[in-house]
Amino acid sequence: MGTKARDIRITHTKKSLIDAFIELANVKDFEQITILDLTERAHVNRTTFYAHFKDKYDLLDHIIGDSASGMIEKYTANSSQEFNREIITQLFFAVCEVNQQPDFPCRNSYFEMIPLLKERIFNAVRDYLSKRLIGVNDESEISFYAPIYANIVVEAGYLWTTGKLDLTKEETAQRVTDMVVGKS
């Protein structure tokens, strides 16, 4: 089988497993979802599942990571490549949307996933900022500032999304941007 055909097949299989997980998450608690449930819903066998993911936690981690990276890409696609106020604002908006993405009914077991969600969002924001800070700061400063800025953006996005801030989304974005980049 050619490389392109194999890549398409792998992508299709992963998408089927992801779709199966999301469908099941709408009707079952995370702990109740089994590999058998996932493979039956995705129409693949267990060996195929394990060829792509270690377990259901790895699948969830993949879904969250892809969601965070995709949302950051969506919000920053038209931004300049330099580190500026617009980048921080768009990252904040992306984080807010990722936090609102899990469209599962509010099941108790999904509250355990919040730390995983925050970690994956943090990693995506930190990695994005590390690339944008090149040329602005030297390597040692990038490894210092990127995680700090990412923490500010991610935590503010989480607080806004969960309703713990009495500010509009735009006001919160302004404050986060002022904190990270400085007041204009």
Do residues 163 and 133 share a domain? yes
Burial of 52 (C-beta count, 10 Å sphere; 0-12/13-18/19+): middle
Residues 66 and 139 reside in one and the same domain: yes
pLDDT at 105: 47
State the pTM of this model.
0.77
Give the phi and the psi of residue 99 in degrees, each rounded to 5. Answer: -65, -25
Say how many C-beta atoms besides its own lie within 10 A of residue 161's C-beta.
18
Q: Are residues 130 and 69 in the same domain?
A: yes
Distance CA 66, CA 55 (A): 17
| Same domain, yes or no: 18 and 80 | no
Q: Give the SS3 label for residue 134.
A: strand
In this structure, of 37-41, 47-51, 102-106, the range with the lowest mean pLDDT score is: 102-106
Which residue range is the domain that position 76 belongs to? 58-181
What pLDDT, on the 0 to 100 scale, is given for residue 106?
44
pLDDT tens digits along 57-100? 899 888 888 888 889 999 998 877 788 899 999 999 999 988 88
Instruction: Classify 3 as helix, strand or coil.
Output: helix
* Nearest alpha carbon to residue 180 among 55, 92, 53, 72: 92
Can you give the pLDDT at residue 171? Answer: 97
Residues 131, 40 share a domain: no
pLDDT in tens, 123-175: 999 999 998 888 776 788 888 999 999 999 999 999 999 899 999 999 999 99
Same domain, 47 and 131: no
Contact 108, 32 (CB under 8 A): no
**Is 35 a residue whose pLDDT tops 90?**
yes
